[in-house]
Structure 1
Amino acid sequence: MSIRIDDDKRVRTLTLDRPDALNAFNEALYDATTEALRDAAADPDVAVVLLTGSGRAFSAGTDLREMAARTSDPDFTPGKHGFTGLIDALLEFPKPLICAVNGIGLGIGATVLGFADLAFMANTARLKCPFTGLGVAPEAASSVLFPRLIGRQNAAWVLMSSEWIDAAQAKEMGLVWQVCEPEELMDTARRHAEALAAKPISSLVAVKRTMTAPLRAEIDAARERENACFAELMGGPANIEALTAFAQGREPDFTRLPA
């Protein structure tokens, strides 16, 4: 299994469990996480979901080897749900979602925080949205969720720079709610999860629905724009240079590419 599922006190903990790959999302992990969220949404004994990672990473984002195969291997077989299915599940998840960022979070390992109702982060963890470094576009409605969550200029830097954001910066921006010592992260996140889980699920769902409903149309429109830009850029000169540089273990050089 690429994900571990544990239940306690109406809190379902989902632990991304590809530690050797820094919990990068391959097709199997996208499918497993999508199905785990859908199962938790439908389970009357689950009030809150707590999402974290195993080992030293929260998630290193999309598995770049599979990304390269998607553009170059005619026999590449996508998963049942894939990236789009996971974003659908996050968007539709009706109950509180808490993220405990235990280590590095890249790509979807960072943009998932746009869907979190509460986020906790170890003070040793770091986040990065590497889209410009990969020659692609934003994802997961981050182009609308991040400006709302952390402000336009913070979002512009996070989404455009492909620079690491440390825990103190993430807290100052409002990308996460609390920063903890690594050994205290899960206890702190779980304590807050259990406090919410003691409340009536119907009320939790109502609060979340009334908070998120006004954003739904904006999120849907943002995803369409992002997907169109991503499709245009995927496999283009900048993306090929980024993936080639990754495979060769060097930094990409975009300076000689056409605009």
Structure 2
Amino acid sequence: MDTILFEKRGAVAHITLNRPDKYNSFNREMALALQGVLDECKTDESIRAIYLIGAGKAFSAGQDLGEIVAEDGPELTTILTEHYNPIVIRLRAIEKPIVAAVNGVAAGAGANIALACDIVVAAESASFIQAFSKIGLIPDSGGTYTLPRLIGYQKAAALMMLGDKVPAVEAERIGMIYNFFPDEEFGEKSWAIAEKLSQMPTIGLGLTKRALNYALDNDLERQLAIEDQLQSTAGQTEDYAEGVQAFLEKRKPVFKGQ
């Protein structure tokens, strides 16, 4: 069985974490396969949005602990430097919108990979768990960077240390995720977000993502300079010209991602 399923549906890359019997926990094969698929999404100009979901009942339970304890299993440092860190870096570096559709539990690295995406939505029955403290580890996969910026230091510290399960409804309330949907509507509504993004001005969305990445560490003056620079780039795109013309003609714009 392929550990990652990948297909293009229109202008959207549909990526499925596919180890349902292991709650889509990551082993080396799946981590490297996801990196390869993300690389393809970055370079394929026909792909204008990315949709990431898990097969079966879970989004991802994080690391497959069976792999770690195996006689020939990888060291923790290898798992981080070769598996998870490259995934997170790719998720943030691809200048196309990425939707994490959290269909079930997202735990440990699975949770933090989801939170590294641009828009995170969840099924109402889904949950998020910073499970690391339960086995004596620290949060990885960018969790100590991303989560405090989403929900604040105090809440993030408590969730990481106590390992509390956060239901999707609560995750939305505290700003951890964008939205949640009833389970029976989740597939349709989460996909609709990715589909909508794929028809929007792709370069402008990518530059927005770049600006947000800079904003995590910049002061105001530096960020204003970045906005100036990126706005000039966006203003030279065909989609900008189309958007302005459509506004003046009082019609719906047809963006081509150019």
149-158 or 37-46, larger mean C-alpha shift: 149-158
Q: In the alignment, residue 205 of structure 1 is paired with which amino acid?
A: G
Residue 55 of structure 2 corresponds to 54
Residue identity (%): 30
Counterpart CA distance in 2 for 1:89 and 1:207 is 16
8 Å Cα contact 2:88/2:116 also seen in 1: no
Separation (CA, whole Å) in 2 of partners of 1:27 and 1:165? 27
Match of 2:172 in 1: 171
Mapping of 1:13-28 within 5 angstroms?
13-28=14-29
Alpha-carbon separation, structure 1, partners of 2:139 and 2:201: 36
Q: Who is 1:7 aligned against?
A: 8
Unaligned runs of 5+ in 2: 219-258
The alignment's TM-score, normalised by the length of structure 2, stands at 0.77
Match of 1:155 in 2: 156
- Which position in structure 1 is the counterpart of 2:34? 33
Per-residue displacement from partner, 1:32-55 (whole Å, max 9, x unpaired)?
A: 111111110111001111100010
Q: 1:47–1:197: 8 Å Cα contact kept in structure 2?
A: yes
Separation of aligned partners in 2, 1:148 and 1:9: 33
CA gap 1:109/1:62 in 2 versus in 1, 3 angstroms: same
**Aligned partners of 2:92, 2:193: CA distance in 1, in Å?**
22
SS at match of 1:131: helix
User: Secondary structure in 2 aligned to 1:95?
Assistant: coil
Q: TM-score, normalised by structure 1?
A: 0.77
CA distance in 2, matches of 1:168, 1:83: 27
d(CA) in 2 for partners of 1:196 and 1:86?
21
Hey, what does 1:89 align to over in structure 2? 90
Residue 93 (structure 1) shift = 2.1
Shift of 1:182: 1.5
Moved more, 58-67 or 87-96: 87-96
Counterpart of 2:8, as a letter, is D
Structure 1, unaligned stretches of length 5 or more? 218-259
Partner-residue secondary structure (3-state), 2:125? coil
What does the per-residue CA deviation read over 1:90-120, in whole Å, with 9 as the maximum and x for residues that have no partner? 2322211101110111112111233121111
Q: Distance in 2 between matches of 1:151 and 1:132?
A: 19
Amino acid corresponding to residue 202 of structure 1 in structure 2: I
Match of 2:215, as an amino acid?
P
Q: Which amino acid aligns with 2:33?
A: A
1:142 lines up with 2:150 in the alignment: no
Aligned residues of 1:113 and 1:175 also touching (Cα < 8 A): no
- Determine the C-alpha separation between the residues in 2 that align with 1:76 and 1:155: 30
* 1:58-110 Cα distance to aligned partner (Å, 9 max, x none): 001000111223xxx3x436689422322232232221110111011111211
Report the 3-state secondary structure (helix = DSSP H, G, I; strand = E; otherwise coil) of the residue aligned with 1:23: coil
Contact between 1:34 and 1:81, CA under 8 Å: does it hold in 2? Answer: no
* SS of residue matched to 1:94: coil
Q: 1:18 to 1:216 in 2, by over 3 A?
A: farther
The whole-number CA distance in structure 1 between the counterparts of 2:101 and 2:217 is 24
- What does residue 198 of structure 1 align with? 199
Which residue of structure 2 lines up, in the alignment, with residue 76 of structure 1? 73
- The secondary structure found in structure 1 opposite 2:216 is helix
The answer on 1:109 being equivalent to 2:110 is yes
The alignment yields a C-alpha RMSD, in angstroms, of 1.8
Aligned pair count? 213
Q: Tell me by how many angstroms 1:141 deviates.
A: 2.1
Q: Taking CA–CA contacts closer than 8 Å with sequence separation of 6 or more, which of the two structures ends up with the larger relative contact order?
A: 1
Q: CA deviation at 1:216?
A: 6.6
